[in-house]
Structure 1
Amino acid sequence: MQENKSKIPTGRERFVQAGALRLWAEEFGDPDAPAVLLVMGAQAQGVQWNDGLVRRLVDGGRRVLRYDHRDTGRSDTVDFAAHPYTVADMASDALAVLDAFGVARAHLVGASLGGVLVQRLGVTHPDRVLTLTSLSSQPLGTDTAALVQRALAGEPPLPGSLPPPTPQLLATLVTTLPDPDADLEGYLTTRMPLWRVLHGDVLPYDEEEYRAMERRVYARARDLRAPLNHTFAGAAGGDSTESLAAVQAPTLVLHGTEDPMFPPAHAEATAAAIPGARLVMIEGLGHTLPTALDGRLAEEILRHTAAV
């Protein structure tokens, strides 16, 4: 364990300006190396990109950037009722991070909602994108809220639509919302059942790994409830899956065979919508980033980004 810790690169932290907001960001590796921007999912902090994955990318010759979305971690929180924002605004935050670090073009890697954000940038800002990697995500323009509402109402998906999250996950989501007044142990008690379901039943489950991650999230959070605003931002919609036909960047779609949030059909639809996209299914992976797969994920990302 001590040996692994010594290999974790030291990050260079800073706050960057995105309009009126300040976002926490961190840089690793050689500033002259090709840049990889890691974009996390909804309600997730930038540090939830595992340090081991970051280390492997840096060792592979990449400059790595990660950041906290608005309303997460150390970044500014927003009064959503007074100042609502959209997925498009969150995608613009990613560009603000690149601008702050002087990166003209980057390899974009997005997980879950982050995958949707980098897809959007591939459509709207192709000049800023070297490659795209959509990880554990779904196609841009998918109306997830409608899928969830129909499932909760006991109605089947509409013909031709993508499958909703699994019933077990839907049941767990409504019982694991963080209490902003909870102490650490109360917070962990509430949150751990969610990670058990998101992880899936195939790969070995290390509860202490997820507890350590959530301790870090709890310690860094300005407001434990603020990340829920991402749900409202996603409901704003406005994008279409058909627009992905305009993506020019080489695209990798990485997805787990056991993903309970976005079943594999979401990955297949993403790859089908983006010209030339390559689909790689990871056996046993759910909707998390277990450290046991840091090496596999880094290998896939390094291979994909080396092509440009």
Structure 2
Amino acid sequence: MIETNGVELWTEEFGDPAHPPVLLIAGSMSQGVTWPDALVGRLAAAGRRVIRYDHRDTGRSSVIDFERDPYSWAAVKDDALGVLDAYGIPAAHIAGHSAGGLVAQWIAAEHPDRVLSLAVIGSSPLGRREGEVLMRALTGQPSRPDDLPPPTPAFVEFYTKAMASPPPADRAAAIDFAIATARLLNGPDLPFDEDEQRRQEERIHDRARRPGSETGHQRAGVAYPDAEPAGLLGGVTAPTLVIEGTREPVKPGHGALIAAEIPGAGLLMIEGMGHLLAPQVLGEVADALLAHTGARPVT
């Protein structure tokens, strides 16, 4: 446990502290353990010092009373920097998944001295208000000319029904809904192991200080829609790798837009991958991250 930015954050470290540090930033409402153990293990075994952590309002980290202490995604970004500070790491390779990729882009844009390399997985370009695009799609509003590509029809159908339904009544219902969500996010091409996903969702539910507190991330986005800065990606200097699945249901095509904005960024499209880091793609993702983080030594 560390203390930073007025909150407690659960963190976990793997590998030799003398090896190049890699900070993994999970997505919105996601615990650090959503970075698969197999991926973390491969990175550590190949000579990386890997750190993952629970965002505020997730897992074992602080639960925030949003009415009393509202926060924005800028605070979530500062939490990530606080993790590096707590471990005494001046600069790290930073990899972010989904909204964690937005946080990673933000850090790379504002604090280039803290970022050895940047990897963005299944994410959207910083400053393009992807949340508003998502809500317009879910409420049946037409896209605007400058909007990001909307989520897939299957995603819209699933979450439209979910928004019209009462929230899960108990632990069993919450886990069943999480499994159904994971099945959608896995995409239609790769096999989906429901038993293994159930074990993961039970782990996530049971290690939370207060299940349901993760919705504070949604409240932060709604309360401070302008917190995410625009127009900064062109100034990112860190070597950048953008990864997207060919069956991405949430942010299809967003990876290419990130790569187009960041000078020199590379784009890796992984065949069949959806939004989740499914077991079938972990080898390819790990190999790509290892090659990318080996491109620039720690100084």
- Preserved contact between residue 39 and residue 111 of structure 1 (Cα < 8 Å): yes
Per the TM alignment, residue 273 of structure 1 is displaced from its structure 2 partner at its CA by: 0.9
Per the TM alignment, residue 210 of structure 1 is displaced from its structure 2 partner at its CA by: 1.4
Give me the identity figure in percent. Answer: 45
- Preserved contact between residue 259 and residue 287 of structure 1 (Cα < 8 Å): yes
1:260 aligns with 2:249: yes
Matches within 5 A, 1:69-148: 69-148=55-134
TM-score relative to the length of structure 1: 0.90
Equivalent AA in structure 2 for residue 215 of structure 1: E
1:158 aligns with 2:144: yes
In structure 1, how many angstroms separate the alpha carbons of the residues matched to 2:213 and 2:63? 6
In structure 1, how many angstroms separate the alpha carbons of the residues matched to 2:147 and 2:153? 17
SS class of match (1:160): coil
Matches within 5 A, 1:40-55: 40-55=26-41
In structure 2, how many angstroms separate the alpha carbons of the residues matched to 1:35 and 1:153? 42
In structure 1, how many angstroms separate the alpha carbons of the residues matched to 2:115 and 2:89? 10
- Preserved contact between residue 242 and residue 273 of structure 1 (Cα < 8 Å): no
What residue number does 1:10 align with? none
TM-score relative to the length of structure 2: 0.93
What residue number does 1:278 align with? 266
User: Aligned-residue CA RMSD in angstroms?
Assistant: 1.7
Structure 1 stretches of at least 4 aligned residues deviating more than 6 Å after TM superposition? none
1:291 aligns with 2:291: no
In structure 2, how many angstroms separate the alpha carbons of the residues matched to 1:209 and 1:68? 21
- Preserved contact between residue 248 and residue 274 of structure 2 (Cα < 8 Å): yes
SS class of match (2:27): coil
Per the TM alignment, residue 35 of structure 1 is displaced from its structure 2 partner at its CA by: 0.2
Equivalent AA in structure 2 for residue 109 of structure 1: A
- Preserved contact between residue 151 and residue 249 of structure 2 (Cα < 8 Å): yes
In structure 1, how many angstroms separate the alpha carbons of the residues matched to 2:89 and 2:216? 28
Deviations 1:202-224 (A, max 9, x none): 11111122111101101101122
Per the TM alignment, residue 54 of structure 1 is displaced from its structure 2 partner at its CA by: 0.7
In structure 1, how many angstroms separate the alpha carbons of the residues matched to 2:271 and 2:117? 24
Per the TM alignment, residue 144 of structure 1 is displaced from its structure 2 partner at its CA by: 2.3
Deviations 1:94-122 (A, max 9, x none): 11111111111100000000000000000
1:220 aligns with 2:207: yes
Aligned pair in 2 of structure 1 residues 222, 173: CA closer, same or farther (>3 Å)? farther
Per the TM alignment, residue 179 of structure 1 is displaced from its structure 2 partner at its CA by: 5.0
